[in-house]
Structure 1
Amino acid sequence: MHKKSRARTRHRRAHWKAAAPLLVACANAACRQPTPPHAACRHCGMYRGRQVLPPA
Structure 2
Amino acid sequence: MAVPKRKTTPSKRGMRRSADALKNPTYVEDKNSGELRRPHHIDLKTGMYRGRQIMTPKD
User: Match of 2:44?
Assistant: 42
Where in structure 2 are there 5+ consecutive unaligned residues? 1-5, 8-15
Could you state the TM-score of these two structures normalised by the residue count of structure 1?
A: 0.56
Q: 2:54 aligns with which of 49, 52, 55?
A: 52
Report the Cα offset of residue 17 of structure 1: 4.6
Greater helix content: 2
Deviations 1:29-52 (A, max 9, x none): xx1211111111122111111111
- What is the CA–CA distance in structure 1 between the aligned matches of 2:48 and 2:39, rounded to whole Å? 12
RMSD (CA atoms): 2.5
Report the Cα offset of residue 26 of structure 1: 1.3
Which contiguous aligned blocks of 4+ residues in structure 1 show a shift greater than 2 angstroms? none
Q: Percent identity?
A: 34
Q: Is residue 2:24 matched to residue 1:20?
A: yes
User: Match of 2:3?
Assistant: none
Higher relative contact order (CA 8 A, sep 6+): 1
- What is the CA–CA distance in structure 1 between the aligned matches of 2:38 and 2:20, rounded to whole Å? 22
Could you state the TM-score of these two structures normalised by the residue count of structure 2?
A: 0.54
